[in-house]
Amino acid sequence: MSIFRKIIKWLDDAAYVWRFELRQVLRDEGVLIFCVIVPLVYPLLYSWIYNNEVIHDVPVVVIDQSHSAQSREFIRMCDASPDVRVACYAEDLDDAQSLVSRQVMKGIILIPSDFDERLNRMQQATVSVYCDMALMLTYKAIYQTSMMVSQAMGAEIQTKLSGNYTVREDEITTRPLDFEDVPVFNPAGGYGSFVLPAVLILILQQTLVLGIGLAAGTARERNRYGDLVPVHPCYNGIYRVVWGKAFCYIMVYAVMGAYLTLAVPRIFHFPQLAHWHDLLLMMIPYILACVFFGMTVSCLVRYRENVMLLMVFISLPLLFMTGISWPESAIPGYWQGISWLFPSTFGVRAYVRMNTMGGVLGDVSPEVRYLWIQAALYFGTACLVYGHQLRMSQRHAKERLDYLRKKREVRLALKKHTKN
C-alpha cells in the first residue's frame, strides 16, 4: 500500500508540474510565439516562397562584341530557353556589371570579338558567363542554359563537318554514348522538394529549444535567487520535475510534429513517400531527444535573450551539417562529430530518406538508434542539471528560513530587553 501511495503521489506531483509548465507556456507571449505560432506560420511562409520550385526567365544582359550570325544565334537560343531572358544589351563589361550590382540584371553573357572567327578557323571559341553566386537559383539557371546552348551549337557544327548521310549517323557522331537524365527523388528539380523537408524537421528542434529556454529564463528572472526550480512540495524530486516539464512539451510538439511532417508537405505538394507508422516510430525518439536536449540547454540560460542569440546563430550551420544541402562526405570529421550532438542531424537524415526517398524504417535504423541514444543521454543530463538546480533551490530556501528565524529571534530578544 505504501508503494502504491508513493506512485500516486509521484504522478500527482508530476501532473502539478505539467499543469504549471503548460500554464506558463500559454501565458508567456514569447514562449507561446516560439512553441505554437512560429511552427504554425513559419513553415507556411517558407514553403510558399519556394513553392514554384524553379525559377524561369532570369533577366541577363548580353555583351555581343562579335556581331556575327553565330553570336546572334547563340543569343537567340539562350533567349528561347525557359530559364533565361535576354533583357538588354550593354556596350562593355562595366555597364553590365553596374546593372548586376543594382540587381536590375542577374547575370552577364559576354561573347568576344573573335567568336565567329575562331569557329570558322575550326578553333575552340569561348563565351564568358558572369553570375551572382549569392543567388544560387539564378546562377544555376544562367549557367546551365549557357552550357546547353553551347553543347547544342557544338553538336550542330560537328554534324556539318562530319560528312554523314543519315540522321542516325549524325546522332551517333554527336552523342555516341546516349544517356537519359532521370531525377529520381526530385522530379521537378526544385529547391522546395530538395531542402524544405529538412528545414521542417530543423524547425521542430529550434523552436522547441527556444521555447524551453525562454521559459527557463522567465523562471530565473522571476525568482529572487535566480533559481530555475521553484520551492514547492510538488517539486521535491528530480524525476517528477523532469517528466512533468517534458510531458508538457511532448504534448504540444506531438501536434506540431504531425502538422509539420504531414500537413505542410501535403499543402505544398512536397514528396510524401513515408508510411505513417514508420514516420511515427521515427518522430517519437526525435521529439524526446529534442525535449531533453532543450531542457539540458535551458539550465545554461540566465536571461530570456541568451537562448535566442545561441540557437538562431547555429540554425544555418546545423542545416549544413545534416548533409542535405552540403554533401556529408565533404564535411570534415570534427564537424561531423559536433553535429552528432544535435538531434536534428539524425532526425533530418531519417525524415528525408523516408519521406522524400521512399525508405522504410529499416533503411534508417542507424539514425533511429542514434536518436534513442540521444534521448537517453539527454534525459540523463537533464536529470543531472535539474537535480543540481533542485539542490540549489532547497539550499536557498533553507538560507532564507535561517535568516527569518534569526531575524525573529533578534526581534524577540529586543522585545524582551525593552520590557525589562
For the chain, the structural domain boundaries read 2-50+190-404, 59-174
Q: From CA 379, how far away is CA 117, in angstroms rounded?
A: 72
Residue 218 pLDDT: 80
Residue 74 pLDDT > 70 = yes
Q: From CA 179, how far away is CA 125, in angstroms rounded?
A: 26
Fold of 59-174: abc type-2 transporter like fold (3.40.1710)
Model confidence band, residue 347 (pLDDT cutoffs 50, 70, 90): very high
Which region among 129-138, 199-208, 227-236, 340-349 has the lowest average model confidence (pLDDT)?
227-236
Question: In this predicted model, what pLDDT tens digit does every residue of 118-168 receive, in sequence order?
Answer: 888 888 888 999 988 777 778 888 988 999 999 888 888 877 777 777 777
Residue 343 pLDDT: 93
Buried residues in 211-228 as b, exposed as e (16+ CB within 10 A): bbbbbbbbbbeeeeeebb
Residue 103 pLDDT > 80 = yes
* 163 vs 387: which has the higher pLDDT: 387
Model confidence band, residue 345 (pLDDT cutoffs 50, 70, 90): very high
Q: Which three cell numbers stand for residue 192?
A: 522546395
Model pTM?
A: 0.79
The per-residue pLDDT of the chain, averaged, comes to 84
Q: Average pLDDT, stretch 66-82?
A: 91
How much of the chain, in percent, has pLDDT values that exceed 70? 97
Residue 165 pLDDT: 73
Residue 350 pLDDT: 92
Residue 141 pLDDT: 87
Residue 417 pLDDT: 67
Contact 348, 202 (CB under 8 A): yes
Model confidence band, residue 284 (pLDDT cutoffs 50, 70, 90): very high
- Phi then psi dihedrals of residue 63, to 5 deg: -115, 100
Residue 222 pLDDT: 77
Query: Going by C-beta distance under 8 Å and a sequence separation of 6 or more, which residues neighbour residue 157?
Result: 119
Contact 290, 342 (CB under 8 A): no
Q: Average pLDDT, stretch 216-229?
A: 76
Name the packing angle between helices 2-27 and 191-222 (round to 10°). Answer: 110
Residue 420 pLDDT > 70 = no
Model confidence band, residue 356 (pLDDT cutoffs 50, 70, 90): confident
Q: How far is CA 313 from CA 44, 316, 318, 371, in A?
A: 22, 7, 10, 23
Residue 91 pLDDT: 87
